Each structure stands twice: as structure tokens, then as C-alpha cells.
Amino acid sequence: MAARSACDALLQRVAAAPNVTRPAARPVDAVLADSLARPAEPAQPDPAPAAPVHLDPFATLHVAVPLLYYGGVLLLSMCAVQPVLVALSLVAALTCSCALRGTKATLRGLAPQLPLALLITLANPLFTAQGSTLLLRVGPLAVYAESLLYGACMGMLLMAVFTWFACAGVSLGVDRLLGLGDGGLPTVVLMVSMVARLVPQLVRRGGQVVDAQRACQPDSASRGAAPYLRASGVLVGWALEDSLQTADAMLARGWGAAPRRTTYARERWGVRDVVWLVGLGVCLAGVGFLAWVATTQYAFYPTTTRLVAWWGYVPYLVFLLVPLWLELAERRRWR
């Protein structure tokens, strides 16, 4: 009865409301004239092209193949201290980085490396005053061209090694490395992966704690070593709390319940992987021999050996550009 009375009251209110007059319909000609007289809307700009997708050239191969390649390239780059070989390694590293990571990411990585390389170049003559070509003398310090050249080579070598590590990060992800070593060394692999995660996390949290302390205290109280000591105490407590939560989460997810761990992406050996592994091993041995020949025939001190054109530089560069060849072949396949 209450619902019926409410409906009757609502109908009475609607009937008592004033009639709403609708606007008169306009002629079709007037509507068409107004639409033609209205200024046209500006054309929307075309959407910006999507950023290119950079894929892993070793994605279809076993993780041992890129591990062997990048390990050999890093070993060659660090041991072959010869101007031409160092320059080729740096050029190849930058080229592969642009192809795998993109030009912007490569330039962002060079921003902190260039000042460090320049510092090494200028500091080496101050600590190693050797050579036969005197450039200038500042009091008891003598700057020789040979020492400056050696410092420049070491600076370029450092840049090349950093860039090669960045390229290796594209193919050697944490999940693939975990899958490679979980079968024999599960605890070591887990510990390395956790350290790689916790170190940047602690640095980031330390900055957050220091910023929070500075926001809560005046400037006079945030100077000196006291804020950093308090921040270290907060970080230790934070890390211990996270360690307990991590241990509980690992036990809840069955860590150690089976003698052999399983991985999300399984790495299976195939005939193609073995062929690649053997081929890279043979090429690495040959290129290593060429690098040894070029390095032993060159000397920085007391006078620099004259550089001449040599055919051995070509296969060295071709081997360093293997990721680029794979990337170009993959793009051509999907074009």
C-alpha cells in the first residue's frame, strides 16, 4: 500500500508540472546552410610513429651462446690494448648498442662515460711520466705524448667495456642466467640475483630516508655525518624487516621443496645451438690469435710503434659486429 501511494503521488506531481515546450523544427535548408557556414575543424595531426622495437638477436639460441660471445668480446676488449683494436672495439660496441638498445639509450649511457674517459686520459701522464716525445713541462711534471696516448686508449677501453656490458644485458637477462645455473648452483644463482636487486634498492631507499630527514629537520640539523648515520640505522632495520618477509615468502612458495628447481623459460639444447657454440669458439680462438699478434707487435713506451694497415683488423671487426649482423638479418626476415 505504501508503494502504491508513493506511485500515485509521483504521478500527480508529474501531471501538475508545466508543459515543456519543444523548440520548433528548423527547415532542412537552414540546417544545411549553418553547417556549410561553420568553419571546418582543424585536421588532427598524424600520430607520432611508434618507437622501434629492439629485439634480442640471440633470443632463439641457448643462453650459453650469447654468454660465450659476450664473454669472449669482453675478454678481447680488456686484454687487447692496442690503439686500432681498442678503437674498433669501441666503434663496434656503439654500433651494436644503437642497433640493440636504440640511439637515445646509447647516448644516455655515454653521458657519464665521457667525463671519466677524459679524466683517465688527462690523469695518466701525471702518474706515468714515460715516453720520448715531450709535450710540455709543468714544474717537476713532464707530459709525454706516449703517456697521453696510453691514457686515451685506456679511456676508450673503459667506454667500450661499459657499452659491451650494456649490450650483453639485452641478451643475458636475469631470467636466462637463472635458468642456466639453477640446475647445478641454485643457491649461488639466487644469492647473486638478490644482491643485484638489493644493492640499487638500498641506494634508492637511502636517498629517500635522507630526503625525509631533511624535510623534517631544519638545515642546521641536516649537516654533517649525523643524518647519514641515522639513515644507515633506518636502512639496516628496513633491510632486516624485508629479509624476514622475503624468507617467509620463499618458504610459502616452496623454496627447497624439490631437489631441482624449475624455471619459467626452459633452455633446451639443439643442433643449431651446438653449431653456433662451436663456430663462435673457433672464431673466438682465431680472432684472439690475431689480437695477440697485433698487441705483441705494438709498444707504447719508450716510443710508440708505427701503425700500418693490416688485414687482421677486418676479421676482428666482423666478429665484433655479430649482433649487428643477426639484428639486420632478423629485420630483413620480418620486413
Crossing angle of helices 64-79/271-296, nearest 10°? 0
pLDDT, one tens digit per residue, over 232-246 is 888 888 888 888 888
DSSP state letters, 9-48: HHHHHHHHSPPPPPPPPPPHHHHHHHHHHSPPPPPPPPPP
pLDDT of residue 188: 73
Helices of type H across 182-334:
186-216, 226-252, 271-296, 313-320, 322-334
pLDDT of 44 = 55
The C-alpha atoms of residue 119 and residue 231 are separated, in whole angstroms, by 32
Each residue of 163-218: pLDDT tens digit? 999 888 888 876 677 666 555 566 776 777 777 777 778 888 888 888 887 787 76
Q: What is the pLDDT of residue 49?
A: 47
Distance of alpha carbon 36 from alpha carbon 25, whole angstroms: 19
Residue appearing with cell numbers 640493440: 100
In this predicted model, which residue has the larger pLDDT, 176 or 16?
176
Angstrom distance (rounded) from CA 78 to CA 95: 18
Residue 31 has pLDDT above 60, yes or no: no
Q: 3-class SS at 262?
A: coil
| Domain coordinates in residue numbering, the chain | 64-172+266-334
Confidence at residue 202, expressed as pLDDT on a 0 to 100 scale: 81
Residue from 67, 79, 86, 97 nearest 164 by CA:
97
Residue 146 pLDDT greater than 50, yes or no = yes
Three cell numbers at 207? 636517498
Residue 11 has phi, psi (to 5 degrees) of: -65, -35
Task: State the pLDDT confidence band at 22, using cuts at 50, 70 and 90.
Answer: very low
Looking at every residue in the chain, the average pLDDT score rounds to: 78
pTM for the model stands at: 0.66
Q: How confident is the model at residue 52 (pLDDT cuts 50, 70, 90)?
A: very low
The residue ranking higher by pLDDT, 247 or 157, is 157
d(CA 218, CA 227): 12
89 pLDDT higher than 90: yes
Say whether the peptide bond before residue 302 is cis (omega within 30 degrees of 0). Answer: yes
Assign 48 a pLDDT band (cuts: 50, 70, 90): very low
